Amino acid sequence: MSDLDLDPTQLDRYSRHIIMDDVGPEGQKNLLDAEVLVLGAGGLGAPIIQYLAAAGVGTLGIADDDEVELSNLQRQVIHGDDDVGRKKVDSAADFVAQLNPDVDVEKHELRVTADNIEELIDGYDFVVDGTDNFATRYLVNDACTLAGIPFSHGSIFKFEGQVTTFAGEEDSPCYRCLFPEAPPAGMVPNCATAGVLGVLPGTVGCIQATETVKHIIGKGESLDGSMLFFDALEMEFDRVEIPKNDDCPVCGDDPAIESVHDVEYSASCAIDVDGEASGEPEIEASN
């Protein structure tokens, strides 16, 4: 859209945004002009995609290599019985088309690797990470941090979730400031082995979508520099500061990671001192 003019259908559809002083027609235009990439169309990706589409994010990239399974339907609310066996990117795109025709979906049916992530994220204003394995989280962090693209991180486990935003500013931390390397393989089980409360990814994913919308309209305080922890059993939220680490290997004063090809994106996501490692982590969007 080239100006602030909205057609009558859009004025009606987005009326609850338009009447807000902090959004208004200009904020809605920013949403319609925005390009956001969602990594994973599973438990976290489902509410993220649903609410960003409803908000009118004009271009929504969806990256996922998986198919819909019956066990997904307990929490992955954009898919239904008839979608079992379909590619999640196809099911998600159909859901968005039914929800809001203003949104253009860019489908990326692929496995995210160090060889393709730079091209994948290029051109997007914001990246939302809805994956559930450490290798991809570190890959997303490193690629987005090096490219200066802000992104949201979310993760879930049983009854607990955590969310943060990395704005990519000069004084912003990154994921490696908090966790320089992944825990040993097998220490943290995934949702397929440990289980997850079906409504939990809805809560965490909605917070990620909220952070995305706030970033696009330029309003409010983001989670940049802190992480929000949610305990669904106790119904408690805790916010913990994430200080920028001057010795961080990717965003510190003397970074050891200057390319995603400097890292072995596997169990440890450790820096390859020889600079020869190149892992191929897979999006596992079964949150």
Encoded amino acid at 20, one letter: M
Distance (Å, whole) CA 122 – CA 37: 10
Distance (Å, whole) CA 106 – CA 35: 10
- Buried b / exposed e along 114-153 (16+ C-beta atoms within 10 A): beebeebbeebbbbbbbbbbbbbbbbbbbbbbbbebbbbb
Q: Active site residue: 144, 177, 191, 251, which one? A: 191
- Buried b / exposed e along 51-62 (16+ C-beta atoms within 10 A): bbbebbbbbbbb
Neighbours of 170 (CB within 10 A): 7
Q: Is 174 a catalytic residue?
A: no
* Active site members: 191
